[in-house]
Each structure stands twice: as C-alpha cells, then as structure tokens.
Chain A
Amino acid sequence: MPKRLSVDEIARLQAQAEALQLWEHARGHHVGPLTTDGKRKSAMRGYRHGMRSLGGVAMLKWLASLQGLLVALKG
C-alpha cells in the first residue's frame, strides 16, 4: 500500500527539491559540491563506509596482497 503523504510532508519535499535543485541532477548538469566544506564532506563519504572510494579500494587491495606476501614469507 503506498504511503500517503500529508500536505506538510509534500511541502517539505518540494522545498527540499527546490533547495537541492534535483532537476539539475536528473539532467546531469550538477557538477558536485561548490564550497570547500561541501567538497570535504563529499570526499569523506567514501571513507566513512569503509574506504569505498576507488583509490581506497585499490589501497586496501594492495595492503591485502602485501599481507599475503608476508604470510608466505613467514610460512
């Protein structure tokens, strides 16, 4: 059953869409955060969920391969 939104909730969502300019996201024109604080927060999003950025994942793979080499040397 679909959730029924109240008038206040619809108004809040409309205001949020206006603030975030969601139509620009849909058109692919949004190019990312503009302020320094926004860029910092955006960069931290990849780290917060376990180094999920491309560079973070590549670094973890390198550390795992290095760990495998050290285990082979020990054994």
Chain B
Amino acid sequence: MHHETHTGRLAAVAPPESNLQPSPRPARKQALALDPVAASCQVLAALSGDGILPVDAFDTLAEHSRALHECPDEEILDSLTRQSSLLEALWLHFAARAAKEPRVDHSAVLCKASLNCQKALQGCLGAIHQLTEKRQDAQALECR
C-alpha cells in the first residue's frame, strides 16, 4: 500500500515526457568492409587533411592484419610493405604535431604516440627484411 502511494506520488511529480530523459544511444556502426588499400588511402588522406583518425579504416586494417596469419609469405610481404608506409606517415604526423605543440604536456603525449608508431615501423621493417631474405634464398636455391 505504501509502495503504491509512493509510486503514484512520483508519477504525479514527474513530467509525462521530460526532455532530461537520456535518449537511447545509437548502435555502434560495424567496420565497413573496406579494401585494405582503400583503408590505407583513407588514413593518408585524413592525415593530410583534418588529422582526424578514421575509425573504419583502422578497423579494416586490424581485421586484415589478423587475417594475414594464414596467408602465404608473398601476400604478407605486400601487406607489410603497404602498412610500413602508413606507419611512417603516422609517425611523422605525430612527430610534426608534437614539434608544433606549444604546451609541454600535449607535446609529450604526441611524442609518445609517434614513438609507438616508430616502434611498430621498426618491427615491420625487420619482418619485411626477413621475408625478402627468405624469398631471395628460395630464388638462389632454384637457380642451382
């Protein structure tokens, strides 16, 4: 009885359609089925434009990188070569922004992001070297 009274009082106080009610959040869009080459182009275009990192392009590239585990070495080499140019562009983008940033703490954050990209670039270049050597070794064996 007491509960009913309390609920009825609340219903009487609250406006029927209050504009303070939180609106339902729109569902998160899934990554577009972009071609990894198109995704790389989209990231490069964003870096040369407004500098806003495109979510869908990075999601596509991450999905592509995860799918590469089962691919032959030639395809991995092609993909790593393409992604290394992207990593270098990101590294330079963040380093340039860090150099232009007047505030020290903002500059340090951008430096950290650029170092993350540079570390990934070094690993990528090492893998490219390893795969290229493997291909040259195979070609040398075929020549004999």
Contact = CB atoms under 8 A, between A and B. Distances in A.
Interface of A: 26-27, 44, 47-48, 51, 53-56, 58-70, 72-74
A58 B110 contact: no
B109 A55 contact: no
A26 B76 contact: no
Interface stretch (B4-12, B120-128, B135-143): B120-128
Category for how many chain B residues contact A:
20 to 34
A18 B73 CA distance: 63
Which secondary structure dominates chain B's binding surface? helix
A48 B110 CA distance: 9
28 contacts: A44-B106, A47-B106, A47-B109, A51-B113, A53-B53, A54-B55, A55-B54, A55-B55, A56-B53, A56-B113, A58-B55, A59-B90, A61-B59, A61-B62, A62-B61, A62-B62, A62-B65, A63-B120, A64-B62, A65-B61, A66-B124, A68-B65, A68-B66, A69-B65, A69-B127, A70-B123, A73-B131, A74-B127
A52 B66 CA distance: 22
Interface in B77-102: 83, 90
Contacts of A59: 53, 58, 90
Contacts, number: 76
Interface of B: 19-20, 52-55, 58-59, 61-63, 65-66, 68-69, 76, 83, 90, 103, 105-106, 109-110, 113, 116-117, 120, 123-124, 126-127, 130-131
Contacts of B83: 66
Given A48-B109, A55-B53, A55-B54, A73 B62 contact: no
B76 to A, nearest CB: 7
B50 to A, nearest CB: 10
